[in-house]
Amino acid sequence: MYTTIALFGSLNYWRKPCIGYRRNIDMITSKISCMAYSYYGLSYISGFWPFIIGCSNLYGMYYFYNKLCINFELSKPKWVYFHIGFHLVTTISKMYIIYWV
C-alpha cells in the first residue's frame, strides 16, 4: 500500500517535474513509505543475519542518498547514477522486508 502511494506521488511529479506542490507531495509520500517500511522492518524482523542485512541496506541507502545530494548540488551529471543506486538498494530493502514480514 505504501509503495503504491509513493508510486502515484512520484508519477504525479515526474509527468512534469518542477519545484512546487507536486514535488512536495512526491517527497512526503516517499518519506511516509520509508517510515512505514522502517517500522515494519524494525518491529517484525528479528535475528542476527536479518539485522546485519538490514543495517547494510540502510547504510547503502544513506551512502547513495548522500552522494546524489552532493553531486546534484554541484551540478555533476553523475548524480543520476547515485540516484539509480539509491532506488536499487531501496527496492532490495523493500523486497527483503516484505519477504520476512
Domain shared by 22 and 56, yes or no:
no
Q: Is the pLDDT of residue 96 over 80?
A: yes
Q: pLDDT tens for residues 58-74?
A: 899 999 999 999 999 99
Domain shared by 38 and 17, yes or no:
yes
The whole-angstrom separation of Cα 47 and Cα 100 is 11
- Helix pair 79-100, 48-73: axis angle to 10 deg: 160
pLDDT at residue 75, as a whole number: 93
Domain shared by 51 and 37, yes or no:
no
Domain shared by 8 and 55, yes or no:
no
Query: Across all residues in the chain, what is the average pLDDT?
Result: 90
Total domains present in the chain: 2
Q: Average pLDDT for residues 12-23, to the nearest whole number?
A: 89
Helices (H), the chain: 2-14, 21-44, 48-73, 79-100
Domain shared by 51 and 7, yes or no:
no
The pLDDT-based confidence of 1 (bands split at 50, 70, 90) is: confident
Q: Average pLDDT for residues 25-29, to the nearest whole number?
A: 92
Domain shared by 67 and 82, yes or no:
yes
Question: Which residue range(s) make up the domain with 13?
Answer: 1-44
